Amino acid sequence: MLNRILEMLGISVLVLALSLSFIVALCFSIGSFYFNG
C-alpha cells in the first residue's frame, strides 16, 4: 500500500517539475522575444 502511494507521489512530483520547467522555458522565450523585438 505504502509503495503504491510513494509511486503516485513520485509521478505527481515528476509531472509538476516538468510543467514548471516548461512554464519557465516559455516565460524565458517570450521575454527574450519581447525584449529583442
Torsion of CA 20, 21, 26, 32, to 10 degrees: 130
Distances (CA, A) of 22 to 5, 6, 12, 13: 26, 24, 15, 14
Question: DSSP secondary-structure letter at 37?
Answer: -
pLDDT value at position 21? 98
In this prediction, residue 12 carries a pLDDT of 98
The model's pLDDT over 1-37, given as tens digits with 9 standing for 90+, comes to 899 999 999 999 999 999 999 999 999 999 998 888 6
pTM over 0.85: no
Residue 34: the pLDDT is: 87
